[in-house]
Copies of this chain bind each other. A is one copy, B any other.
Amino acid sequence: MSPDFMRHAIALALENVRSGSGGPFAALIVKEGRIIAEGANRVTRTNDPTAHAEVVAIREACRVLADFQLTGCDLYTTCEPCPMCLGAIYWARPARTFYAATAADAADAGFDDAFIHDELKIAPAVRRIPMTQLLREDSLVIFSAWRQQENKTPY
């Protein structure tokens, strides 16, 4: 772990704001003491609501490594990850994550993800974006096909 990596991420986030490229967030991925990927928030610039700094950095690092796992890597992010990014981190499986600002600091600046944590806790049907189940029985054939499929890469 090195605070220099976080200082670099903070500089990236500042540059992202000052250049009008996106929100006040940046992240980077370190492997064996070297930065292999950087990411800054690109939601509005690229019309991609998933382009949070962590997701951008994870996707780039996986591209560089030609792997869908970030084994042995560290992720540095300027802010505590939102639930989407936390999920992305668990699927990418870096060894460690370092963050600077808290979710509360982000909320003070107008970026509040607390409602998503609340929504995760309640039943799908009563969420703000209602989630309705449909054709469950019909869908189970997909998982049967997966179990039977020999040409597959487990992940």
Docked-complex contact A80 and B124, CB < 8 angstroms? yes
Residues in B whose Cβ lies below 8 Å from that of A126? none
A83, B124: Cα distance in complex, Å: 12
A129 near B17: Cβ-Cβ < 8 Å: no
Size category of the A interface is: 35 or more
Tell me which residues from 75 to 93 in chain A have a Cβ below 8 Å from any Cβ of chain B: 76, 78-93
Please determine whether A142 and B67 come into contact, CB atoms closer than 8 angstroms: no
Give the distance in Å from the alpha carbon of A34 to the alpha carbon of B93 in the complex: 37
Q: Is the CB of B24 within 8 A of A105?
A: no
Q: How far is the CA of A79 from the CA of B18 in the complex (A)?
A: 40
Closest 10 CB pairs of A and B: A84-B87, A100-B139, A109-B143, A24-B146, A44-B153, A20-B151, A49-B91, A83-B87, A49-B92, A101-B139
11 example contacts (A-B, Cβ-Cβ < 8 A) are as follows A20-B152, A47-B62, A81-B131, A84-B87, A84-B91, A96-B129, A96-B131, A97-B129, A99-B134, A105-B140, A117-B120
